[in-house]
Chains A and B, each alone.
Chain A
Amino acid sequence: MKIFDVHTHPTFEAGRTDYDGVNEVVTYASTLGVEGMVVLGDVLLYGRTPSVKDVQAINSKTAELAEWFPDYLHGFCFLNPLLGESFVVDETERCISQLGFKGIKLEICNNARDDVMGPVMEQARKLNVPVLQHTADQTIIQEREFHTDPADTAWLGRQHPDVDIIMAHLTACGKRGVMEIADVPNVRLDTSAFQPVSGLVEFAVMHLGADRVIYGSDLLIRDLPTQIGRVKHARIDDADKQKIFFDNAVSLLFDR
């Protein structure tokens, strides 16, 4: 079964950032059936709220990776919305219009409900790209001031119904997270994060439909066979697996 991975960080913190290091990742992923990946950037390399220079450096590294493997690695433009509208516009124009990135990536600079999200969503709408929002249940983590809960991602989706959003991290969002976005059709869910907790993929498919569930690994933080395995061994039919593993991502990123 073909696989497209919408959630990867092929270079991460102190790990290898050279061509050979990335090639090792790509080669191994290819042996497991992965035919393409979204590169989200090393988004925490400079801390939670990176500067203009930091964000540009992260995205330039993403561009370098995509240039090394143009048919395999596809960049998303990482943004710190706190840096303001002017920078958001400039950086998205650079990354998406000029460098060919396929979407926007948001991490934990701010909560998805914050006003600074306005220009980001406007750029996503204008440039016709999806937004991947890092999301995790804040019930225990309790960082909602800057860390986005599934309810916040759902809120964002309702405010911007014409923008496609990928809510990251099925396991971190849990069943409550699935239910938060159930009635927000422009919000999809990626399968990444933590251990392959049983029953979650099945729950997501039951409540969102397979069309709104997208495979993501979150590598290099995660073990790739384990992340693939959580979908491969889920108790859903093969047609749904094919949508989750490949069709949904390709349609969202390339058929726009």
Chain B
Amino acid sequence: MTDFVDINISYGNWPFQSFALDSLEALTDHLKTSGISHAFASHLGSVFDPDTERFNRILVQDCSAISNCFPVPTVNPAVRGWLKQIEGLNEIANIRAVKVYPSYHNVNLSSKEMEEVARYVSESNLQLMIVVRLEDARTRYHGLSVTGVPTTAMIEFCKTHASINPVFLNAYLPEIREISSSVSNVYFDTSFADWFFVMETLRDSVGLSRILFGSHSPFLTTGASLDKVRLARLSESEKTIVLRQNASELFGL
């Protein structure tokens, strides 16, 4: 099975981890050798630098040179002017989703700023990706006090904005189970879900229609993330749902 869709890749410098695959081209070449033909990419420069426009434009430019690489620009609601930036990007690229990093940008999901983001993605028919975390809290750099987005905040956000279907990235299995038991307008990627028979657990407790493959490369080992689905005790059609079908439908591929 090939032609997988990876909804969760990043590139650029990260101060706390060295990446062997240190360019978008190198990373997507690597993904293609693993059977991943489509990828949704973001630039890590916009996580810490308030100048998101600079890194979003680099992202759009880099993606334009790579087939089936879709830019997911960062929205930093804490920095004024984000709406104009994204609208400007939309004029030069086919943007299908935007990404927010609430914990890294000190933004509460119940804030007025996030309400504006939700309204914009709803009106623009964009998907909203919400990064719950980028690294495991137990192994992150000790001087970084960033923690995961609170589960209660994610649930409330979904309830408040019932017209959008946010995709939560890098959520743990207990978080996925708790959120999905409260709201249905939500998707999750597979990257941080972990437990024995985890994919079966997700199928039986959440439903595979809400689960999309995300490798979280290059933070995590791509092949290992892929094997979580590829070698799970699921039928081939169930694997296809997670590895390709859900993302194809959600992002209109």
Contacts and interface: CB of A to CB of B under 8 A. Distances in A.
Contacts of B217: 198
16 contacts: A32-B231, A136-B138, A137-B138, A172-B138, A195-B191, A195-B216, A196-B220, A197-B139, A197-B220, A198-B17, A198-B20, A198-B220, A225-B227, A226-B224, A226-B228, A229-B224
Contact of B196 (A195, A199, A223): A223
A234 B195 contact: no
Contacts of A202: 20
B77 interface: no
Interface residues of B, number: 36
B203 interface: no
Contacts, number: 104
A55 to B, nearest CB: 24
Contacts of B226: 229
B99 to A, nearest CB: 19
B105 interface: no
B191 A225 contact: no
A235 B20 contact: yes
Interface of B: 17-20, 136-140, 142, 191-199, 216-228, 230-233
Contact of B221 (A25, A137, A140, A198): A198
B196 A222 contact: yes
A198 B218 contact: yes
Smallest CB-CB A-B distances: 10 pairs: A229-B224, A233-B223, A196-B224, A225-B231, A229-B227, A220-B196, A225-B227, A196-B221, A139-B142, A223-B198
Residue from B138, B191, B199, B224 whose CB has the most chain A CB atoms within 10 Å: B224
A193 B137 CA distance: 13
A205 interface: no
A233 to B, nearest CB: 3
Given A174-B139, A223-B228, A229-B221, A198 B194 contact: no
A62 interface: no
